[in-house]
Amino acid sequence: MIFPLHDIKPCDFALPSRVGGAFARAIWCIFLSSGGLALADCQGQSHSESEELLWRNRLELVGAETDRELHENLHGAMVQPGRSFKLRNRMQVIDTLQTQKTVRHMEARLSERGYFNAHVQTIWSRNEKNKSTHVEQTFFVRTGPRWRWSRLECLSDSAGFEGAGVLTELNLGVGDHVDLERLEHFRQTWSAARQSEGYLGLLSEHVSYAIDTLAGIHRASLQLLIRPALDGPHRPAVIREIQLNTEGIDPDVASSMLRVELGQPHSPKLVELTYRRLTQLPAAGRVDIQVEQILGQRDTAASSVAPNTLLERPVKLTFTVHPRQRFEWGYRTGLVSQQGLGAEGAIRFSDHNSRAKSERLQLELEASVNSIPAQINEDGQQQQSTIFNAFSYGPHLKWRMDRLLPFKPARFPRSNEPLSQLELAWSQEHRPDFDRRIAQMSLVERFTESEHRRSKIQLRPLDLSFARIELTPQGEAFLNGISSLLVRNAYTSHAIFASGASWSLAPNMGEQAELNIRLGASSGGHLLSALIAPGDSVAWVGGGTGGSGGTDELGAQAVPISRFVKMHFEVVAGWIPAWATSSRRTTVQGTSARGVSAHLRLVAAVGHSTAPGLPMPLERMELAGGPNSMRGWLAQSLGPGGFDKSISGEIYARGDMRLEANAELRIQLNKSWSIAGFTDAGNVWMTTPDALRPNADFQWDRFASEIAISAGVGLRFDFEYFMVRIDAGHPVRYPVAEGGSNWRWGDEGWSIHPAVALPF
């Protein structure tokens, strides 16, 4: 670092007045030699111990003012910009070693950009406008001319590559500016590209370059060198043998996980995919991979060439799968946010190698508590206490297989990554307005449709559930005051015999953007109702209230079969603007030390009951409001449509159809804390007109006027393994007009939503 003492004003670095003469000069030299500068009084100004000085960095760039990228690069090399500090004992030490480090970083970055004659100079001074509070460090950068290439050469014949082809990939020409960062990037990307082509062992260390700066005035010549392997030119590795070692795991199941095949070039990506798939086997513990060259073999295509020349490098891949402990038990706990803040837990018993087929059989004993807002009490008024006022419990049995039922693992291509899961569950749920028992059985089959597009298909060929609902006195009092048959029938016992399918797409959008698209459809009850058309019901043994068909002498209750069709479409997108990214910030999907990102979600869902006089099943209906939807309202308190619920005394609001858009601007303050500003727009509607609930159904000519809008802010804390957030939303536009306008602010207060995880 060049530190011009003749540019430093005596008043800028004056030692205390009681120190003088040779002793003062000795103290000055000690501070300089130890990497410290002493700041004290200037021109007799006094400083209290609580006074703060602001250390400001300023950059003056001479010779490359138009190089904006260089200007930002040098700003990033500054150490401790904008640091504030306090004076203690009328003297503060500023570490000049940090200044020297900054200068070295700047000069290195200038050289990387081709400014080989650059010169960095620093000066400390007090701010003339406010001498008592500001100290300014100015970096004067004289870049000089930027050097250019005068000659390009590549020596790679001994390594098995053509020099002209390598220079073509480098994409440099005579007269281009010198850019060492570009050369370093080429070393990494070129070697990685060759490895993906099967050149096993070709690393970035095999690529080097030499620069001659004596090629002319401000001209340099480049010599790129590709070093050969230890045994001669680099050759593509071809897989000639695959060995799979399994202990206690069905070889057919394990081999279905392999993504490499005989005769294909060695690909690190496919080997990594194979490793990932093998580790996903329920019975797999640790997976070891060994790659070794097969000596004495050579390709048949090489028989016509020189004896010591091989066109390929034959290799053998060995995968060793070590089994995990077969029987295990564990537990899980966590916070959840559905309609309000809640918690859940489960005790888990697992068999990771069921039927010796690496199939996981798992039994979970689950329990949860939730907060259900907007309840009613015995007097028909809104219940005030909503914290942990609902709970549920029950067993859940899962059977997971890495294949599609009823086919064998080898039936589909390995790239499809098939997965099937059969589930049986029973739960008892208690809420302030009703008790519900649900018995469920479902089969989910999922596979990858296209690796390139990153699209997946999920099938639900079997989705059965029986729901028995028993109203509490509060619930009966509430429903007795409602004349709408659709609302009353929503709280009756029912059976669902459904099936469905969904398609999801998550294309690679780069590090600064993400996009997820999901399209699903389901239908229930039509086939079974056609088979047992006379009563449109099935028997639920156990009797009780809440059904619509009564009970017989054995206590079997007739439960109506729900018939419905439903479609769901959802788009989630995220984006980090270029100005908000730096080397200290990560991608839109991950947590960053500092950054800004924008996120958007669009949802369109519509369902319709095809059973006369019966609504959609309660658990298949749509709701708006709450921590993950329209955050200006509590859960189930918005809609349906433009219906004024105060007319009928309804508090709950569900619908057959939902349109919603959510937008968030998230600002990462540090690794743990972040804030967000958001706005939500949408509503729910019924698809069946009801004369007792005017404007509750969806109509094209008025749905736009029934869109509700809310806005708010949120605070989030990331514990790395889960995130806790508090969002506060306020309605801005209401679906029901008052005084001739839907836009109003003061009708309702803020809705506070504590929740876990991001809303989308």
Residues paired with 364 in a beta bridge: 348, 396
Residue 509's identity, in one-letter code, is M
Return the axis-axis angle of helices 68-77 and 96-112, rounded to nearest 10°.
Answer: 150
- Return the pLDDT at 146: 87
Gap between the Cα atoms of 26 and 7, Å rounded: 20
- Return the pLDDT at 116: 87
- Return the pLDDT at 63: 58
CB within 8 Å of 139: residues ≥ 6 apart: 57, 58, 59, 60, 74, 78, 102, 103, 106, 120, 121, 122
Gap between the Cα atoms of 192 and 198, Å rounded: 10
Phi-psi sector, 82: left (phi>0), alpha (psi -120 to 50), beta: left
- Return the pLDDT at 60: 62
Greatest CA separation for the chain: 113
CB within 8 Å of 312: residues ≥ 6 apart: 235, 236, 237, 238, 298, 299, 302
C-alpha angle 180-183-185 in degrees, rounded to nearest 5? 110
Residue 512's identity, in one-letter code, is Q
- Return the pLDDT at 477: 74
Query: 240 with 262: CB under 8 angstroms?
Result: yes
- Return the pLDDT at 403: 86
Report residues of the chain scoring pLDDT below 50.
1-55, 79-93, 130-132, 299-309, 374-384, 534-535, 541-555, 582-593
- Return the pLDDT at 338: 64
Residue 648's identity, in one-letter code, is S
Q: Tell me how far CA of residue 368 lies from CA of 13, 185, 299, in angstroms.
A: 67, 52, 63
- Return the pLDDT at 131: 46
